[in-house]
């Protein structure tokens, strides 16, 4: 059995991306977003079932634009889970809105709906629900929609980790609120190096997003501006790679599910490490997340066996960047014990067996 280093995550690009890029460079040299970008947007719209897809340069600015497009402004409050990638709150902090942190559900790590309701104030404008690791909240997405209607606030879905994951009724994640956001950064199920996409079924939101990312242009490539906008455009090189990656998405979804099943079987009966549950019929795990006893020692043991892991996100309210007083038991527990196991789609069955054997060795099971 190979004992080569297994990275916790690495992207996968192949000969197809390389050839497609070379072909594009032969056929056109503008590079800035154009037809390939439109085709990539169409591929995402078709896959997710969205009426509109707008790509931007990353999955953080996409959230900023999502919030601006639904009318969040400086001074407004946006409810955000205390367990998420820090990009979620930073995306609204960036223009002076205030992220308000609430705890997450122990089973799914998605926002806790009771905590969210308790945090609503007259200044709350939106809830940013994060589909943690492609999971849906146990409370049900309909309950979040109803909560937003009840309080006259907007639902934004940060579905950065959820491309390929569907709610139980068959709707792709990202399409239950006013707008949903994806990321194509290096560790995601498909990557364009950097990149983000917004999906919406709301024509007016889509039109605002297109203006926001393109200097507020009224459309048609002219220099007439009736709103303020910025430059968060994509490039054709990213789109060319993205088109090839999208072709590989269905196979990746199946492989990620198969790896999850193999981890589950290999770790059955190990008391020290609990994999988070995942509905692998409707959703796809982005990373293999766990709560691990004696986390640092386990990491060191795995590192000595040439196996990389990654500590899961610390509670955001405790990050030096925020330092907000509050007690959020689930996100604190994840901060203490959360560990991502190797999660790349190119893991072989033998790799997974090597990892689970090393974990069993550590816990003596």
CA–CA separation, 347 and 344 (whole Å) = 6
| Closest to ligand PLP by CB, 59 or 99 | 59
Q: Is the dihedral of CA 197, 202, 205, 209 positive or negative?
A: positive
Q: Any idea which residue has 């192949």 for tokens?
A: 14
Shortest gap between Cβ of 91 and ligand PLP (angstroms)?
7
Q: Closest CB to ligand PLP among 30 and 95?
A: 95
CB of 127 to ligand PLP, least distance (A): 14
Name, in order, each residue with C-beta under 8 angstroms of 298's C-beta and a sequence gap of 6 or more: 272, 273, 292, 309, 339, 359, 362
Q: Which residue number places its CB atom closest to ligand PLP?
A: 59
Q: Least Å distance between CB 136 and ligand PLP?
A: 14
CB-nearer residue toward ligand PLP: 60 or 356: 60
The nearest distance, CB 183 to ligand PLP, in angstroms, is 3
Nearer to ligand PLP, 88 or 331 (CB): 88
Contacts with ligand PLP by CB under 6 A lie at: 58-60, 84-85, 87-88, 130, 158, 160-161, 183, 185, 196
Q: How far is the CB of 141 from ligand PLP (least distance, A)?
A: 16
Beta carbon of residue 85, minimum distance to ligand PLP (angstroms, whole number): 4
Shortest distance, position 162 Cβ to ligand PLP, whole Å: 9
Of 55 and 270, nearer to ligand PLP (C-beta) is 55
> Tokens for 331?
């996100």
CB-wise, 48 or 183, nearer to ligand PLP? 183
Instruction: Give the residue with the Cβ less far from ligand PLP, 65 or 87.
Output: 87
- Alpha carbon dihedral 141, 144, 149, 153, in 10-degree steps, equals -120
CB of 22 to ligand PLP, least distance (A): 26
Nearer to ligand PLP, 58 or 243 (CB): 58
């Amino acid at each position: 059995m190979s004992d080569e280093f297994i990275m916790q995550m690495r992207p996968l690009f192949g000969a197809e991306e390389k050839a497609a890029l070379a072909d594009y460079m032969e056929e056109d040299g503008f590079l800035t977003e154009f037809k390939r970008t439109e085709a990539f947007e169409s591929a995402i719209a078709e896959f997710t079932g969205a009426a509109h897809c707008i790509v931007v340069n990353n999955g953080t600015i996409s959230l900023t634009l999502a919030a601006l497009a639904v009318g969040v402004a400086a001074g407004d409050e946006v409810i955000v889970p205390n367990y998420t990638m820090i990009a979620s709150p930073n995306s609204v902090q960036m223009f002076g809105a205030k992220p308000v942190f609430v705890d997450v559900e122990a089973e799914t790590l998605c926002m806790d709906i009771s905590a969210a309701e308790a945090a609503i104030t007259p200044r709350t404008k939106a809830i940013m629900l994060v589909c943690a690791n492609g999971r849906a909240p146990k409370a049900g997405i309909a309950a979040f929609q109803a909560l937003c209607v009840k309080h006259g606030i907007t639902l934004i879905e940060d579905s950065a980790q959820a491309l390929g994951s569907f709610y139980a009724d068959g709707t792709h994640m990202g399409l239950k609120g006013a707008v949903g956001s994806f990321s194509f950064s290096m560790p995601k199920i498909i990557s364009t190096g950097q990149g983000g996409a917004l999906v919406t079924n709301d024509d007016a939101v889509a039109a605002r997003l297109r203006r926001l990312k393109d200097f507020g242009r009224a459309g048609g490539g002219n220099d007439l501006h009736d709103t303020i906008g910025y430059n968060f455009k994509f490039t054709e090189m990213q789109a060319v790679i993205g088109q090839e990656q999208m072709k590989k998405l269905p196979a990746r979804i199946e492989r990620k599910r198969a790896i999850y099943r193999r981890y589950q079987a290999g770790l059955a009966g190990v008391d020290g490490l609990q994999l988070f549950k995942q509905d692998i019929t409707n959703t796809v795990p982005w990373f293999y997340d766990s709560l691990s006893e004696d986390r640092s020692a386990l990491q060191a043991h795995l590192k000595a066996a040439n196996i990389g892991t990654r500590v899961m996100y610390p509670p955001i309210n405790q990050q030096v960047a925020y330092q907000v007083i509050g007690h959020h038991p689930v996100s604190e527990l994840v901060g203490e014990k959360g560990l991502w196991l190797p999660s790349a789609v190119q893991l072989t069955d033998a790799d997974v067996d090597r990892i689970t054997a090393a974990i069993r060795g550590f816990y003596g099971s």
